[in-house]
C-alpha cells in the first residue's frame, strides 16, 4: 500500500475508540445524521468516486454492521462492498513469486541456436535441426522446434529461399585460383614484372617469378613450377581466372587443363572481374613496393618472397575472420587478454618495414 493509504487508515482507526465509548443516544443521533447526509448526497450526486483508502475503510466497517443495514449505512451497494473486500483479501494473500502452470518455456539460448541452424542451413527441416540439437546436448521435441521456426517466420526447408550470392560465391571460391602480372620499377628505372597467383578460398598468395622480359615461354615455365608446388592441392582447383594477355598461351592453359582445371577469361577492360587478385596487387603496392626501393631482379624476388611469407603466415584477413591464409584453426570468438600478464614480442621484417607481433608467456 502507498503511504497516503496507510496514513488515512491509521487516522480513521484512532477515531474508533472514541466512537465506542460514546453514549448510545449520541451514537444513534450521529447515525441518523449520517443516514440523512447519505440520502442528500444520493439525490445530488449520480455517482460517488472513492479513493482506495475509502474503499478499504468501508470494506472493514462492513464486517461490523449487519448485512440488512448496509443499505442505510453505506452509500454503495452490497455487491460493491463484497467486491472491495474480496480485492482486499486477494491483495493480502497474493504471492509475488508464483510459478506458471504447465511445461517450462524453451530457453532463449536454445531458440537462438535453432534459428541460427535454420539460417545457416537452408535445406534443414525441423526434424534435422532437432537431431543436430540432440547431438549437441540439447534434447528437444520436434514439435517445439517447428513451433519456434513457425513463430519466427521461418518456412519449411523446401520453401525457403536458396543460397545467397555470398554463400554461393564463398562455396565456389574454394575451387578458383587467379593469375595476374605486377610491374615494378627499380632504382635505375628498369621495369620488372612479377607473376602472382592467389587462391580465392584461402587467400593464399603465390609468387611464380620475377623477370624483366616476361615471354610466353617464361610464363608457361612458371605455371609448371606452380603446379609442382601445389601438388595435391591442384585436385581442389576447378577454375583458373586470368585476363587475355598474350603471354598466356595455349601451352600455359594446357598445364592446368591436365588437372581438369577450366580456364575462365575476364572481359578485356574489366579489372573488377578479377577483383581478388587486383586487390592483392594493390596490397603489395601499398604495404611494400611504395615504401621500399628495388635494386635489381634478385632483390625484388627476395623482397616479394619475404613479404608473401608474412602475408600467408601472419597477416590477418577479414574474409577469414582475421586469420592468415595458412592458418587451419577455426575462428573463435574474441576474448579479452590481460596484457599485463603477457609480453608482446616484435619481429622485424624487411629491415623494420613490416612488424609481426606475437604474445609470449
For 4-46, how does the pLDDT look when each residue is reduced to its tens digit (9 = 90+)?
666 666 556 555 555 555 566 666 666 666 666 766 666 666 6
Which residue did the predictor score with more confidence, 113 or 84? 113
Which residue did the predictor score with more confidence, 78 or 152? 152
In contact, 204 and 198? CB cutoff 8 Å = yes
Q: Give the tens place of pLDDT for each residue, 190-228.
A: 999 999 999 998 899 999 999 999 999 999 999 999 999
Longest pairwise C-alpha distance within the chain: 131
Q: Give the tens place of pLDDT for each residue, 349-360.
A: 888 888 888 777
Q: Give the tens place of pLDDT for each residue, 103-146.
A: 778 888 888 888 888 887 777 888 888 888 887 888 888 888 88
108-120 and 142-151 helices, crossing angle to 10°: 80
Q: For residues 262 and 240, give the distance between their C-alpha atoms in angstroms, rounded to a whole number.
A: 6
pLDDT at 125: 82
pLDDT at 227: 92
C-alpha cell at 25: 443516544
pLDDT at 2: 61
pTM of the entire predicted model:
0.57
pLDDT band at 76 (very low <50, low <70, confident <90, very high): low
Q: For residues 342 and 359, give the distance between their C-alpha atoms in angstroms, rounded to a whole number.
A: 7
**Would you list the DSSP string of 208-235?**
EEEESS--HHHHHHHHHHHHHHHGGGGG
Give me the residues paired with residue 5 across strands: none
Judge whether residue 242 has pLDDT over 60: yes
Cα dihedral sign, 11-14-18-24: positive
Amino acid at each position: 500500500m502507498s503511504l497516503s493509504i496507510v496514513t488515512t487508515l491509521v487516522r480513521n482507526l484512532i477515531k474508533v475508540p472514541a466512537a465506542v465509548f460514546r453514549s448510545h443516544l449520541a451514537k444513534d443521533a450521529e447515525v441518523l445524521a449520517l443516514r440523512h447526509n447519505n440520502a442528500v448526497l444520493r439525490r445530488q450526486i449520480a455517482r460517488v468516486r472513492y479513493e482506495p483508502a475509502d474503499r478499504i475503510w468501508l470494506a472493514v466497517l462492513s464486517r461490523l454492521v449487519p448485512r440488512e443495514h448496509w443499505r442505510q449505512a453505506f452509500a454503495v451497494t452490497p455487491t460493491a462492498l463484497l467486491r472491495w473486500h474480496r480485492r482486499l483479501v486477494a491483495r493480502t494473500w497474493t504471492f509475488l513469486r508464483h510459478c506458471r502452470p504447465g511445461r517450462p518455456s524453451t530457453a532463449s539460448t536454445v531458440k537462438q541456436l535453432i534459428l541460427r541452424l535454420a539460417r545457416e542451413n537452408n535445406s534443414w527441416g525441423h526434424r534435422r535441426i532437432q537431431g543436430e540439437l540432440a547431438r549437441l546436448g540439447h534434447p528437444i521435441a520436434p514439435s517445439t522446434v517447428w513451433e519456434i521456426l513457425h513463430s519466427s517466420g521461418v518456412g519449411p526447408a523446401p520453401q525457403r529461399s536458396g543460397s545467397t550470392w555470398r554463400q554461393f560465391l564463398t562455396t565456389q571460391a574454394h575451387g578458383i585460383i587467379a593469375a595476374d602480372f605486377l610491374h615494378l620499377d627499380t632504382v635505375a628505372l628498369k621495369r620488372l614484372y612479377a607473376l602472382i597467383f592467389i587462391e580465392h578460398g584461402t587467400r593464399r598468395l603465390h609468387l611464380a617469378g620475377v623477370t624483366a622480359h616476361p615471354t610466353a615461354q617464361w610464363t608457361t615455365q612458371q605455371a609448371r613450377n606452380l603446379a609442382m608446388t601445389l601438388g595435391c592441392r591442384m585436385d581442389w582447383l576447378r577454375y583458373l581466372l586470368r585476363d587475355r594477355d598474350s603471354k598466356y598461351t595455349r601451352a600455359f592453359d594446357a598445364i592446368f587443363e591436365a588437372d581438369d582445371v577450366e580456364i575462365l577469361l575476364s572481359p578485356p577492360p574489366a579489372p573488377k572481374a578479377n577483383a581478388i587478385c587486383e586487390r592483392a596487387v594493390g596490397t603489395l603496392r601499398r604495404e611494400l613496393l611504395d615504401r621500399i626501393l628495388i635494386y635489381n631482379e634478385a632483390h625484388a624476388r627476395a623482397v616479394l618472397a619475404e613479404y608473401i611469407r608474412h602475408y600467408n603466415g601472419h597477416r590477418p584477413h577479414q574474409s577469414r575472420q582475421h586469420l592468415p591464409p595458412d592458418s587451419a584453426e577455426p575462428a573463435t570468438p574474441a576474448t579479452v587478454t590481460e596484457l599485463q600478464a603477457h609480453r608482446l614480442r616484435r619481429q622485424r621484417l624487411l629491415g623494420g618495414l613490416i612488424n609481426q607481433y606475437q604474445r609470449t608467456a
